Structure 1
């Protein structure tokens, strides 16, 4: 990888970690399409899983007291059930269709979230939690994007932002561990061949983004952050999808 591409990767990771700390999600939405373009479909999604695991793990200890553990359990078990077969399938998907799937999932998820944000529907009960968790596990394994499904549930269930953002962190940690374990046990060669220095810089960007998010959290409204995440994610997803379609046609 060239120095220029590495800088783009590092910048994307920094901004993703910043958004994750402020809004509770947004990391994968922001960086998944761009990493798929830069690293390729399989390595890009795996990289999102790795970075998402690290960022959520670091944030989790900062928001531990606000985690709703009952909600975590209802979301996580179905997510694990969905992520295992989806992780296996993702290993065998060709790169070009995988890029199209990543872009399409992000675009559909973003569109659905915008519609739901203006919807007066209210959902209750544990089955809705289970469905959201299962869908999140599948999309996280295939596209590295697990947030939209649980975000849609949070909107329709009127789940307050603070416990929602906190509970997502151990949830993301768990499904990332499961997904990475399955994928790397089947194909260890998927891991991007970064140098030790590059991995150190990636870790620094994640920590720096989380710290910057904590500082900015006091001055920036959550809805402004989410709007910025949506705009950037739309651009990245559209680009990734277009690249995948061009590769398929070639």
Structure 2
């Protein structure tokens, strides 16, 4: 009786094939056992090959997405969250995808901030940022409490509704009080933590406060960086996500891809600032975000 229960699965399949091989009239095997063993082991493992291909494809898509978002954010002040969040949510799952979007926001906001430092309105930042940090905590609890399917629907709904509100809120009354900045900061922090997208909230606030574009887009960079830090810290403290949720893509590879993509995006975007208008870049970012938001809902 064959004792094959302890053998690896691959060797058991080989044994079965050898046992079932046709025999000659003298009872010997139709082929050399050693030759059959060598030929079988030489066959590629298609399952592992497919997994490696999937990993490479996902890595390339993430690299291209972060690169595109960084370019658009450098040109218009917004873009990383709008473009990256829906795509990463589809590839990595809504919880971990938004978490990695928050990580990306920290890096992109920090690097772009140095490029636009002299235009930043620090007084406005000090009104918005603390409120954003507070808004991240209830959102982090919500992310941890919702099932994955509902979180994906929430992500898509927030992205699409925020974009629609931004598109149609052209003529809105003026509201320049500190309360408007604090409210925008709290809502932006909440949206950033749940969906990775805070730009529509901030765009609406800029229209309420009649904030000029140069100072607004520059001040958004430290604001987005602070929102990203608050989102990452609150989710880790509350256990809303874990790095192990990256799936087949190694977490270390993600941490390598994202800063490289952000860096390359800034290098590409710097000369483009002379030829591409901020309004065009913002419209493109919103179109891409709308497509991703709808895909997240359908998913």
Q: Which has the higher contact order (CA 8 A, sep 6+)?
A: 1
CA distance in 1, matches of 2:207, 2:59: 36
- Find the residue that maps to 1:201 and give its secondary structure: helix
Deviation at 1:162, TM superposition (A): 0.9
Which residue of 1 is the match for residue 268 of structure 2? 212
Task: Say yes or no: does 1:39 pair with 2:39.
Answer: no
Matched, 1:106 2:159: yes
* Structure with the higher helix share, 1 or 2: 1
* Structure-2 separation of matches of 1:236 and 1:37: 8
* SS at structure 1 position matched to 2:171: coil
Moved over 4 A (4+): none
After superposition, the C-alpha distances for 1:79-109 in whole angstroms (9 at most, x for unaligned) are 1111112112212221111111111111011
Contact 1:83–1:140, Cα closer than 8 Å, also in 2 = yes
CA distance in 2: counterparts of 1:152 and 1:61, whole angstroms: 25
Aligned length: 242
Q: 2:109 aligns with which of 46, 56, 68?
A: 56
The TM-score with structure 1 as length reference comes to 0.92
Structure 1: 5+ residue runs without aligned partners? Answer: 244-250
Q: Distance in 2 between matches of 1:122 and 1:198?
A: 42
Is the CA contact (8 Å cut-off) linking 2:70 and 2:266 kept in structure 1? yes
Larger of the two Rg values belongs to structure: 2
Counterpart for residue 278 of structure 2:
222
**Superposition deviation, residue 230 in structure 1:** 1.3
Using the alignment, how far apart are the partners of 1:195 and 1:88 within structure 2? 23
Matching residue of 1:247: none
Partner of 1:231: 287
> For structure 2, which runs of at least 5 residues remain unmatched after alignment?
1-53
Give the one of 170, 173, 181 matched to 2:222.
170
Q: CA RMSD in A?
A: 1.5
The structure 2 residue matched to 1:186, chosen from 212, 235, 238, is: 238
1:195 CA displacement:
5.1
| Contact 1:20 1:210 (C-alpha < 8 Å) held by counterparts | no
Q: Name the structure 1 match of 2:181.
A: 129
Residues of 1 paired with 2:77 and 2:192: CA distance? Answer: 16
